[in-house]
Amino acid sequence: MNKLLALLLQNRSVENRRFEVLKNESQEPVIYLYDVIVSSDLEAEWWGGISPSNFLKELSSITSPVIHLRINSPGGDVFAARVMELAIRQHSSKIIAHIDGYAASAASFLAVACDEVEIAESGFFMIHKAWTMCWGNADDLNSTANLLGKIDDSLVNTYVAETGQDESQVQEWMRAETWFNAEEAIQFGFADRLAEVPTKSNLSAWNMSAYNHAPKITPEDATVIEPENTFDTDLSKNHLNTEHRIRQQQRVNMLSLTSVG
């Protein structure tokens, strides 16, 4: 099975998935990206996850000088994440990434696109070579392999530019599917500093078995004190629509009854 599809399947019923914007006149706005990254609104309807169109809509609506992007994502679609990354880079606000749990795979280059990156003590940052699913003749397969190589090259360029690490070192890390803990992420330039205030990272909620070397996480490892949330959390005032989420969950429940080969 394609590993990206496996990642979506294994996490379609995860609780506490979250994408919302919290705004308060007296504080800087916070975007919670606690979800898988998917390519379209249709995929988001079926699998859950956050699509580029929803992310760009919310991000472009914010004019505050500083935005906080809180990340706990197992990754997802590389092209979708590239669109989101570009929107972060082009935004006029200073955007600070907070890796509360995972910034894995496609979520990693959303983090490094921000002006500053801080990571929770229990957080992880992961990079790897691109995945895909392909069928056809030899020419088709060779063409797809060439495309994957170009994607990998572009990711290497991004990580090298942001971290200052040697190109060959980044290539090796990607080839090995490398998981950096907080100390390592800071050491190698993927993050700037350790978070001062602990967060409830909820690492154990994600099923990361689609990856080859995901760290083993227990609830005890993942749960720490959650900071007080002083924002207005009335969902009717935020972008998250409760009825939409209910419809989405109904579709996911129906899909779970079907077999996947």
Q: Which of 229, 248, 13, 211 is nearest to 107 (CA)?
A: 211
pLDDT of residue 52: 96
- Distance between CA 9 and CA 95 in Å, rounded? 31
**At 223, is the pLDDT very low, low, confident or very high (cuts 50, 70, 90)?**
very low
pLDDT of residue 118: 97
DSSP designation for 161: H
Sign, CA dihedral 182-155-163-65, equals negative
pLDDT of residue 47: 81
Round the average pLDDT of the chain to a whole number and report it. 82
Q: What CATH number has the domain spanning 3-252?
A: 3.90.226.10
- Point out the least confidently predicted range of 77-91, 95-109, 187-201: 187-201
Is 208's pLDDT higher than 80? no
244: left (phi over 0), alpha (psi -120 to 50) or beta: alpha
pLDDT of residue 63: 92
pLDDT of residue 100: 94
Output the DSSP codes for 78-137: HHHHHHHHHHHHH-SSEEEEEEEEEEEGGGHHHHHTSSEEEE-TT-EEEE--------SS
pLDDT of residue 218: 59
pLDDT of residue 254: 39
Is 5's pLDDT higher than 90? no
Is 243's pLDDT higher than 80? no
Sort 108 into a burial class: Cβ within 10 Å, 0-12 / 13-18 / 19+.
buried
pLDDT of residue 8: 76
Q: What is the pLDDT of residues 20-56, one digit of tens each?
A: 999 877 789 999 999 999 999 988 888 889 999 999 9
